[in-house]
Amino acid sequence: MGTFTKVALIPFRSVTQSNSIYKEKTMNKILSVALIALLSACASETTKPTDAAGPPEDASLSAQDTSGSPTLNPLNDPNNILSKRSVYFDFDKYLVKDQYKSMVLSHARYLREHSSASIRLEGHADERGSREYNLALGQRRADSVQKVMTLSGTQESQIESISYGEETPRALGHHETAWAENRRADIRYQSE
Amino acid sequence: MGICLRQFFCRTFVIFLCLLGSPLHAALDIEIFGGGASQIPIAIVPFASEEKLKQSVTAVVASDLQRSGIFRLVDSGGLSPHDPRDIIYPNWQMLGTHALVVGSTRMLPNGQVEVRYSLMDVATQELLISDMETVSVKQLRAVAHRMADNIYEKLTGDVGVFSTRIAYVVKQGKKYALQVADADGFNARTAIEYTQPIISLAWSPDGTKIAYVSFENKKPVVHIQTLATGARKAIAKFKGSNSAPAWSPDGKRLAVVLSIRGGSQIFLINANGSGLKRFSRSSGIDTEPSFSPDGQSIIFTSDRGGSPQIYRMPVAGTASGVAERLTFEGDYNVSPQYRHDGKSFTFIHRSGSKFNVAVQDLETRQVQLLTDSLFDESPSFAPNGKIILYATEIGGRGILAAVSSDGRTRQRLSAQTGDIREPAWGPLPKWR
């Protein structure tokens, strides 16, 4: 599995994130973003893990091993930033706003630490205008989140960005509050 | 789906309400508003022995012609000739009609029906059409549509589209059904049903298949379904999103929009899913392709200039061709569809918070706004270029609407329950 997997089992913490979120963790190491990027860069040069190299790493189990609360999957733990999954966007915009970056980077790091985990980034748009253009706009939002992740060193192969456009609105109203709720990208783990 | 046909004529055609045919197969309610400035007055005399049939033929013909907005139906005032030899022309001239349709139906011993009809020019007393068809009772509506097509063509010089079909999506609760119906909303049947959205329907040029985007794989995938057999195939299921199918005029390949190379870009792919080739190359969104009728160019929506606008690019110069911007009015012009003759295209133009159907002439660049509703989407030309079918909404409910290309006549087609959306007007039938 190479050096990447070994390193990845240690739960790195980025200085860009609030440590309080991880208070319950027993192994709380703080590494700089630069170090993560360096390690990830090294990792990307190692061969990709294959099934032949051993049983696929169970993302949730290995995370629980290092957690003080063994029953909670960090992805679902409401106290863990990884349980946050939605990035919201302004009208006709697809830039990831600063307020969502630490959350997106936490998922990016989780993916680096769990090389067998993969996610789908699902872009959405509000209902106004062309369905196909909104599909493309949702795609752009998902692509933007993907770019934040891959720039931090996460493998593109662990991510599929797709769009639902305006087709599956979370909020059903025809007003700005509903539209704002529907202009977003969701992070969804394939195991879910 | 609804099972009753309601028609609200804003002019004087209420008398024809009683003539409307069997309502049992109608899936869509149709309402008509307005009418052309110079309508052709036409009288259609109920055919001999027609009352013995389950399906009135003349009611369907009258409804077709009236719906086009080009004809004004003239009441026959009790006159009932069934043969051209029985027509007393001065009487019809006094009624103010220009054209007159007479005919007869006859039940044959084998259960088939013989339908004869004639179209007369009242002023010149000239016989314009004289025709006879023998069909099964089930085909009486189809015969009536063909008659309406012939009459329309003879009197206007344009091809009639009464024998064509339309496709659309009905959303009812959590179910999405792709339906195909006759152009008058009758004979609707479900081609496929999903619990995930269906969008972007596109008829193959020969009318045998429909390409569409479904989300059953938890992402947009382009399928082609053969209508006669129900067989379907995913032809674009690449990593990321696959959408916006558009057929080339020869039906051999499609333009699709893929995110496989990042962003949303237009690709060409053979109808069997082979031979993927990139068409557009921009750092932004390129989507909603529509082939020109000669297959030489594609118009599409792109935000490469900062706002979504419509561009044209030659097909031969794939990936290196220069895209020419076509729309300049406003900051949101999307969903272009060529007219059948390639001389203009319809699209959605936003002004303020309103999204409306517009047409732009490719030579003069002149833009005409055809609607003034709030949320119009997905415009598509009838195959004679005279009517544009689009989706809109009333009271938060999705309905279909059609507007004549001069903007004067409008129809609304609504399902009795559920949202109806994503319309696509099918091609002319083969016999045309």
| Percentage of chain B modeled with pLDDT above 90 | 81
Q: Does B251 touch chain A (CB under 8 A)?
A: no
Q: Which of A1-15, A76-90, B128-142, B244-258 has the lowest mean pLDDT?
A: A1-15
Please give the interface size between A and B, counted as residue pairs whose CB atoms are below 8 Å apart. Answer: 92
CATH number of the domain enclosing B396: 2.120.10.30
- Residues in A closer than 8 angstroms to B257, CB to CB, are 132, 136
For the ranges A19-23, A78-82, A109-113, B184-188, the maximum mean pLDDT occurs at A109-113
Output the pLDDT for position B245.
Answer: 98
Q: Does B150 touch chain A (CB under 8 A)?
A: no
Same domain flag for B259 and B382 = yes
Single-letter amino acid code for the residue at A67: S
Per-residue pLDDT tens for B335-368?
A: 999 999 999 999 999 999 999 999 999 999 999 9
Element (H, E) at B151: helix B140-156
Output the pLDDT for position B278.
Answer: 94
End-to-end CA distance of chain B: 31
Q: Does the pLDDT at position A64 exceed 80?
A: no
Same domain flag for B356 and B292 = yes
* Residue whose C-alpha is closest to residue B210's, from B250, B167, B270: B167
* Residue whose C-alpha is closest to residue B168's, from B390, B415, B421: B421
Strands (E), B138-203: 165-172, 175-182, 189-194, 198-203
| Percentage of chain B modeled with pLDDT above 70 | 90
Q: Which of A101-105, B19-23, B313-317 has the lowest mean pLDDT?
A: B19-23
CB B336 within 8 A of CB B378: no
Domain count, chain B: 2
Q: Does the pLDDT at position B102 exceed 70?
A: yes
Domain endpoint, select from B138, B156, B174: B156
Q: Does B243 touch chain A (CB under 8 A)?
A: yes
Same domain flag for B145 and B216 = no
Decide if B178 is inside a domain: yes
Decide if B324 is inside a domain: yes
Compare CB distances from B220 to A120, A160, A163 and report the shortest one's residue: A163
Domain endpoint, select from B156, B190, B211: B156
Same domain flag for B316 and B207 = yes
Single-letter amino acid code for the residue at B134: T
Q: Is A142 helix (H, G, I), strand (E, B) or coil?
A: helix
Same domain flag for B261 and B383 = yes
Same domain flag for B220 and B152 = no
Per-residue pLDDT tens for B220-239?
A: 999 999 999 999 999 999 99
Reading the block at residue B30, the tokens are 């149709």
Nearest chain B residue to A119 by CA distance is B240
State how far the Cα of B67 lies from the Cα of B59, in Å rounded to an integer: 12
Output the pLDDT for position B415.
Answer: 75
Decide if B308 is inside a domain: yes
| Percentage of chain A modeled with pLDDT above 70 | 63
- Which of A131, A144, A163 to mutate to test binding with chain B, by most B CBs within 10 Å of its CB? A131
Q: How confident is the model at residue B418 (pLDDT cuts 50, 70, 90)?
A: confident
Same domain flag for B349 and B411 = yes
Cβ distance B243 to A129 less than 8 Å, yes or no, reads no
State how far the Cα of B98 lies from the Cα of B35, in Å rounded to an integer: 17
Same domain flag for B178 and B117 = no
CATH number of the domain enclosing A154: 3.30.1330.60
Compare CB distances from A133 to B220, B259, B288 and report the shortest one's residue: B288
Q: Does B240 touch chain A (CB under 8 A)?
A: yes
Domain count, chain A: 1
B376-388: b (≥16 Cβ within 10 Å) or e: bbbbbbbbbbbbb
ipTM of the complex: 0.89
Domain enclosing residue B121, as ranges: 38-156
Per-residue pLDDT tens for B392-413?
A: 998 888 999 999 888 888 888 8
CA B22, B28, B31 angle in degrees (round to 5)?
Answer: 95
Name every residue in A having a CB less than 8 A away from some CB of B.
120, 128-133, 135-137, 139-140, 143, 160-165, 167-168, 174
Nearest chain A residue to B176 by CA distance is A167
Nearest chain A residue to B334 by CA distance is A130
State how far the Cα of A14 lies from the Cα of B221, in Å rounded to an integer: 37
Calculate how close chain B gets to A116, using CA atoms only, in Å: 18
State how far the Cα of B245 lies from the Cα of B260, in Å rounded to an integer: 15
Domain enclosing residue A68, as ranges: 2-189
Same domain flag for B119 and B217 = no
CB B80 within 8 A of CB B45: yes
Burial class (CB in 10 A: 0-12, 13-18, 19+), B126: exposed
Q: How confident is the model at residue B30 (pLDDT cuts 50, 70, 90)?
A: low
How far from A115 is each of A4, A5, A28, A48, A153, CA to CA, in Å? 9, 7, 20, 9, 12
CATH number of the domain enclosing B88: 3.40.50.10070
* Residue whose C-alpha is closest to residue B27's, from B144, B237, B125, B170: B170
Q: What are phi and psi of A152, to 5 degrees?
A: -90, 5
Same domain flag for B122 and B171 = no
